[in-house]
Structure 1
Amino acid sequence: MSEKIEDIEIQLLLEALYKRFHYDFRNYAQASIKRRLKQAREQLGFASFSALQESLLHDPTMLLRLLGYLTVQVSELFRDPSYFRAIREKVVPHLRTYPSLKVWIAGCSSGEELYSFVILFREEGLEERTLFYATDINQDALAKAEAGIYDLSRIQLFTENHRNSGGKSSLSDYYSAAYGSAAFDKSLRKQVVFSDHSLVTDAVFAEMHMVSCRNVLIYFDRALQDRALGLFKESLARKGFLGLGAKETMRFSEHSQSFTDYVREEKIYQKSAR
């Protein structure tokens, strides 16, 4: 089958996904979305993208299975510890000046970044005055985030990351281990709102003091990146903070003038006061 025909099939599949289920991947970075769809087609056993599209439209179980390929994110607690150390040492002192806080973890996937923030804020004495919003388009991932259960084999890395981020306690204080899994304490979720939210189609829903959206924008094309960054700009309070992933930047965005570098090497920005 020619690549041109495959590209047409992919466009039609993404259009069907949007029109039938309102999940919009049409402006995701083409190379990334094509790679993920090829993996889905092969592993789900379809001869063509057209066959996958037919199943998506007629098999109620196919949507969640396909979303698992399209939204897969590799994450870990305190991923890139220097980012969390910068939050702890340079952002938290500013956040302490507010009587109440709202923090948005956008594209939270299965929850590792969320728990990193909640633990950090607990250690810094800010958890009780903070409401955390954890959002993703994948409801299966959100369910995993809300459960807060991870394979025990990952805990050694999580523990090392936590220590390197400037952790002030032992990570083992926050989970219980049994049957090969680590279940994070329910108390870590008492200040959390889990919600289905799309950076592609949905609007701003609250005024935030910090937004952390890391390693999501790299999957968007330029127009979609600008839409998401515009959402963050609108949602942030004056002098609020935005954290992006190591390979992401505000530099070429139409919204770049609305932000200043706060911790440049960690991709932490501050919304301008004006």
Structure 2
Amino acid sequence: MSEKIEDLELRLLLQAIFEQYHYDFRGYSMASIKRRLNQAKTRFACDTFSQLQSRVLHDPEVFTQLLSYLTVQVSELFRDPPYFKAIRDLVIPHLRTYPSLKIWVAGCGDGEEVYSFSILLREEGLDDRVMIYGTDVNPRALQKAEAGIYDLERIPLFTKNHQLAGGKSSLSDYYTAAYGGAVFDKSLRRNVVFSDHSLVTDAVFAECHLVSCRNVLIYFDRGLQNRAIGLMKDALIRRGFLGLGAKETLRFSKHADAFDEFAREARIYQKRSEQ
């Protein structure tokens, strides 16, 4: 099959997903999504994207499983420790000045970043005045996030990251080992709401002091990046903070002028007062 026909089949598959299930992946980076859907073809024993489209349209369970390929769920507690160290050392002093706080973790996947913020804010004594929103388009990921159970073999890395991020306690204070997994304390979810939300199609739902959207924009094309950044800009209060992934930047966004670089190396930006 020619690459031209394969790319056409891929676009038709994404259009079919949008029309049937209202999930819009048409603005995602084609190179990235093609690679992941090629893996899905193997998983579902399909030779072509057209065959995969047929299965997706006629079997909703196949689409539910396909979401794990379309949405990337690779993360870890305190991933990129310098980012969380900068949040702790540079952003938290500003957040302390507010009587109540709202934090939005966009594209939260299986919830690791949400728990990272919950732990950090507890260590900084702010957990009693914060609401954390963890959003994603993948319902299975959100279920896993709600459960707060991770493989024990991942705990040593989580622990190391926590320490490098300036942790002020032992990570073991926050979980219990049981049945081969680490079950994180339910109290960490006391002020957390996990919810289905798409940066592609949905609107702003809260006014936030900090939005953390890391390693999500790299999977979007330029137009979709601009939409997502505009959405997060509108969600932020004046002088609110936006955190991106290590390989992401606002430099080429049409919304770049709405932000100041706050901590360049950590990819943390602050919304300007006049915005």
Range into which the TM-score falls when normalised by the shorter chain: over 0.9
CA distances 1:215-270 after superposition (whole Å, capped 9, x unpaired): 00000000000000000110000000000000000001000000000001100000
The 2-side partners of 1:134 and 1:60 are apart by: 25
Residue 48 of structure 1 deviates from its aligned partner by 1.1
Residue 128 of structure 1 deviates from its aligned partner by 0.8
Residue 60 of structure 1 deviates from its aligned partner by 2.2
Instruction: Say whether 1:168 aligns with 2:168.
Output: yes
Q: Figure out how many residues of one structure are paired with residues of the other and give that number.
A: 274
CA distances 1:38-88 after superposition (whole Å, capped 9, x unpaired): 010112111111111011111121111110111022100000101000000
Using the aligned pairs only, state the percent identity.
Answer: 68
2:102–2:209 Cα contact (<8 Å) kept: yes
Instruction: Say whether 1:236 aligns with 2:225.
Output: no
The 2-side partners of 1:5 and 1:252 are apart by: 32
Residue 112 of structure 1 deviates from its aligned partner by 0.4
Residue 124 of structure 1 deviates from its aligned partner by 0.2
Instruction: Say whether 1:217 aligns with 2:217.
Output: yes
Partner of 2:54: 54
Instruction: Say whether 1:130 aligns with 2:119.
Output: no
Secondary structure of 1:135 counterpart: strand
What is the 5 A alignment of 1:137-216? 137-216=137-216
Secondary structure of 1:200 counterpart: coil
What is the 5 A alignment of 1:5-154? 5-154=5-154
The 1-side partners of 2:25 and 2:90 are apart by: 35
- Kindly provide the amino acid, as one letter, of the partner of residue 248 in structure 1: E
- Kindly provide the amino acid, as one letter, of the partner of residue 263 in structure 1: A
The 2-side partners of 1:44 and 1:190 are apart by: 39
In the alignment, structure 2 segments of 5+ residues that lack a partner are: none
The 2-side partners of 1:61 and 1:265 are apart by: 42
The 1-side partners of 2:207 and 2:193 are apart by: 14
2:73–2:141 Cα contact (<8 Å) kept: no
The 2-side partners of 1:37 and 1:60 are apart by: 17
Secondary structure of 1:157 counterpart: helix
Secondary structure of 2:60 counterpart: coil
Please, what TM-score do these two structures have when normalized by structure 2? 0.99
Secondary structure of 1:68 counterpart: helix
